[in-house]
């Protein structure tokens, strides 16, 4: 049977079009081959990215240390691209790697962010802004009278088009001098006496080992890089918000208002949201605490949509699923030769689940420390510890405090006026 390299496959369907026995099939982004495959090889020739091979073909050896960079950043989300950009801007040689075929896609986010959090990094650009937000409405459905709304005079925040936004951040990194590769996965760390000295990569460029003075792990909620370096990144289920969201069309809502629903029957341990995206479209989603969920989040989401007429009259045009770490940030997001940033370092706001701007802040701090470490020729954990300290001094303390609030108001007590006030404060500083 034909062998499929799923990391390389671009799900284009060319192979299916030439297969004489209908042995290949594609379900969204996953290609499978049936036993009736005759290994005729037509699909191998049709594949634009050499994702298919004949059974006798052997995987070649890894290309040994062809490249050397000051910094390799794994993950081109907001945290990684920002780290790559500032490190390259300061003159370091930087490689930015992402396993995705298209940076920013598929979107796993409700896309809300405050302008004041973005401006230190980028000027808002209409190319990646779907809606400007001036109001927030927070309600405990089922508890009439317990609702809060805020209206600011100016534009508070926006709902992004992350597909475009994430790519724009990666482009800024490239403009600053970083090299970026896509569809390339980090499959391991190069370790020397326990210190990180580079990464193993697999993807379009084959298998490679790339040396680096510093590796920045920006590989998101499912991060493995930190774990490979021995950091305790595993989340207890109570610290994972598992989410489902529809991008819905045809719904009639205030296009400048974000809506939050704190209600254990709608989203146990979490909340539901409606973030407008303009022209009758909105991100309608929810996150549930994974140890409290009695059914999959997508079921809670379907119930939420059915519960409100103005939602039920619209239609989903895209389903988004994802996880948000709502734990304390990693206490030591460093190891010898490694810094961990963004969701990978659990630097998300544990109350709201917002992590875009936090990740960008951490990315910039990690880049600054990388520059100092390369100059000092010292990439030990003891030197890189200043990254963790600066993170704590900037946003880390606030995240610790918000985590403590989450603990202080266990489920059941969250539908209280006090919790709503705290939640409203967290929302208004992040949207
Ligand atoms: C449903 C949902 C709604 C959300 N809503 C909001 C919101 O409204 N506002 C907000 O601020 N935050 C929100 N968040 C959180 C926000 O999306 C994240 O905090 C943010 O994307 C984190 O950025 P990051 O760069 O750390 O990681 P990511 O954006 O997750 O990027 C990680 C990147 O690493 C790549 N990668 C992973 N492993 C490897 C590997 N081994 N090799 C190569 N590449 C790899 C991935 O392909 C990915 O591109 C939401 C999250 C979810 C799931």
pLDDT at 423 over 90: no
Ligand 1 binding pocket includes 97 (Cβ within 6 Å)? yes
Q: 112 is in which domain, residue-wise? A: 64-128+156-235+327-411
Q: What does the pLDDT average to over 134-145?
A: 74
Is the Cβ–Cβ distance between 324 and 348 less than 8 Å? yes
Say what the pLDDT of residue 67 is: 81
Claim to verify: residue 368 and residue 396 sit in the same structural domain? yes
pLDDT at residue 359, rounded to an integer: 98
Report the pLDDT value the prediction gives residue 431, as an integer from 0 to 100.
53
- Of 17, 33, 53, which marks where a domain is finished? 53
* 227 found inside a domain: yes
416 occurs within a structural domain: no
CATH of the domain at 199: 3.50.50.60
The answer, yes or no, to whether any atom of ligand 1 lies below 6 A from the CB of 109, is yes
In this prediction, residue 157 carries a pLDDT of 92
* 416: confidence class by pLDDT, cuts 50, 70, 90: confident
Cα–Cα dist 353/350, whole Å: 6
pLDDT digits (tens, 9 = 90+) for 234-273: 999 999 999 999 999 999 999 999 999 998 899 999 999 9
β-pairing, 271-278 vs 257-261, is antiparallel
Looking at the fold, whether 77 and 172 belong to one and the same domain comes out as yes
How many angstroms separate the alpha carbon of residue 220 from the centre of ligand 1? 5
Residue 142 lies in a domain: no
Reported confidence tier of residue 418, pLDDT bands at 50, 70, 90: confident
Pairing of strands 338-340, 206-217: parallel
Residue with the nearest Cα to atom 21 of ligand 1? 356
Domain check: are 178 and 45 in the same one? no
Contact 338, 192 (CB under 8 A): no
Residue 36 lies in a domain: yes
Query: Does residue 210 sit in the same domain as residue 77?
Result: yes
Q: How confident is the model over 88-108, as a mean pLDDT?
A: 96
Distance 3 CA to ligand 1 centre (A): 30
Query: Is 388 near ligand 1, meaning CB less than 6 Å away?
Result: no
Q: How far is the CA of 306 from the centre of ligand 1 (A)?
A: 28
Confidence of residue 342 (pLDDT cuts 50, 70, 90): very high
For atom 38 of ligand 1, which residue has the closest CA? 219
78 and 118 both lie in a single domain = yes
- Whether residue 269 contacts residue 262, with contact meaning beta carbons closer than 8 Å, is answered with no
Span from the CA of 131 to the centroid of ligand 1 (angstroms): 20
104 and 177 share one domain: yes
- CA of 358 from ligand 1 middle (Å) equals 11
In a domain, 247, yes or no: no
Whether the CB of 101 sits within 6 Å of ligand 1: no
In a domain, 403, yes or no: yes
149 domain residue, yes or no: no
The reply to whether ligand 1 has any atom less than 6 angstroms from the CB of 429 is: no
pLDDT for 410 equals 75
353 lines ligand 1 (CB under 6 A): yes
**Whole-number pLDDT of residue 366:** 98
Determine if ligand 1 sits within 6 Å of the CB of residue 112: yes
224 and 205 belong to one structural domain: yes
Residue 346 binned pLDDT confidence (cut-offs 50, 70, 90) = very high
Q: Of all atoms in ligand 1, which is nearest to the CA of residue 81? A: 25
Contact 239, 221 (CB under 8 A): no
E runs forming strands in 125-270: 129-133, 135-139, 147-151, 157-160, 179-181, 184-192, 195-203, 206-217, 240-249, 257-261
Higher pLDDT, 416 or 401: 401
User: How many folded domains does the chain comprise?
Assistant: 2
Is the pLDDT higher at 29 or at 17? 17
349: in domain:
yes
Q: Are residues 360 and 226 part of one domain?
A: yes
Considering the domain architecture, whether residues 175 and 39 belong to the same structural domain is answered as no
**Ligand 1 centroid, distance to 205 Cα (angstroms):** 24
- Clarify whether residues 90 and 221 are in a common domain: yes
Residue nearest to atom 35 of ligand 1 (CA): 75
Residue 160 CA to residue 210 CA, distance in Å, equals 34
| Nearest atom of ligand 1 to the alpha carbon of 221 | 30
The overall average pLDDT reported for the chain is 92
pLDDT, one tens digit per residue, over 32-75 is 999 999 999 999 998 999 899 998 765 666 655 558 999 999 99
**Lowest-pLDDT choice from 261-270, 327-336, 412-421:** 412-421
**Are 87 and 181 in a shared domain?**
yes
Pocket test for ligand 1, best of 221, 277, 355 (most atoms within 8 A of CB): 355
Looking at residue 16, which CATH number applies to its domain? 3.30.70.20
Same domain, 161 and 25: no
Atom of ligand 1 nearest to the CA of 362: 26
Phi, psi values for residue 367, rounded to 5°: -65, -45
């Amino acid at each position: 049977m034909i062998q499929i390299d799923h990391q390389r496959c671009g799900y284009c369907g060319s192979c299916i079009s030439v297969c004489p026995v209908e042995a290949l099939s594609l379900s969204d982004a996953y290609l499978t081959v049936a036993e009736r495959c005759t290994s005729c090889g037509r699909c191998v020739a049709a594949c634009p990215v050499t994702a298919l091979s004949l059974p006798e073909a052997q995987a070649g050896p890894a290309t040994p240390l062809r490249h050397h960079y000051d910094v390799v950043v794994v993950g081109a989300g907001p945290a990684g691209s920002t780290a790559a950009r500032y490190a390259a801007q300061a003159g370091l040689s930087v490689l930015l790697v992402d396993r995705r075929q298209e940076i920013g896609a598929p979107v796993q986010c409700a896309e809300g962010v405050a302008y004041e959090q973005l401006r230190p990094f980028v000027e808002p650009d209409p190319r990646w802004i779907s809606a400007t937000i001036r109001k927030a409405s927070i309600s405990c459905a089922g508890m009439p009278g317990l609702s809060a709304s805020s209206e600011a005079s100016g534009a508070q925040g926006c709902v992004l088009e992350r597909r475009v936004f994430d790519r724009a951040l990666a482009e800024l990194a490239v403009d600053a001098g970083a090299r970026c590769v896509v569809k390339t996965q980090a499959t391991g760390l190069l370790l020397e006496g326990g210190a990180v000295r580079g990464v193993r990569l697999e993807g379009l460029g084959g298998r490679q080992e790339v040396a680096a003075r510093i590796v920045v792990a920006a590989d998101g909620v499912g991060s493995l890089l930190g774990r490979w370096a021995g950091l305790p990144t595993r989340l207890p289920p109570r610290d994972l918000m598992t989410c489902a969201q529809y991008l819905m069309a045809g719904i009639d809502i205030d296009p400048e208002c974000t809506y939050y629903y704190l209600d254990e029957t709608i989203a146990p341990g979490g909340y539901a949201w409606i973030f407008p995206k303009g022209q009758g479209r909105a991100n309608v989603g929810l996150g549930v605490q994974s140890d409290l969920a009695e059914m999959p989040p997508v079921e809670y989401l379907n119930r939420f949509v059915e519960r409100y007429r103005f939602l039920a009259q619209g239609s989903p045009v895209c389903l988004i699923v994802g996880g948000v770490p709502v734990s304390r940030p990693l206490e030591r997001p460093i190891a010898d030769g490694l810094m961990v940033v963004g969701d990978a370092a659990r630097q998300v706001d544990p109350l709201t689940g917002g992590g875009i701007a936090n990740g960008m802040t951490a990315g910039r701090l990690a880049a600054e420390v990388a520059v100092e470490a390369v100059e000092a020729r010292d990439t030990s954990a003891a030197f890189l510890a200043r990254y963790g300290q600066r993170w704590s001094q900037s946003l880390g303390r606030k995240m610790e405090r918000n985590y403590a609030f989450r603990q202080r108001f266990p489920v059941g007590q969250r539908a209280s006026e006090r919790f709503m006030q705290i939640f409203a404060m967290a929302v208004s500083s992040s949207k």
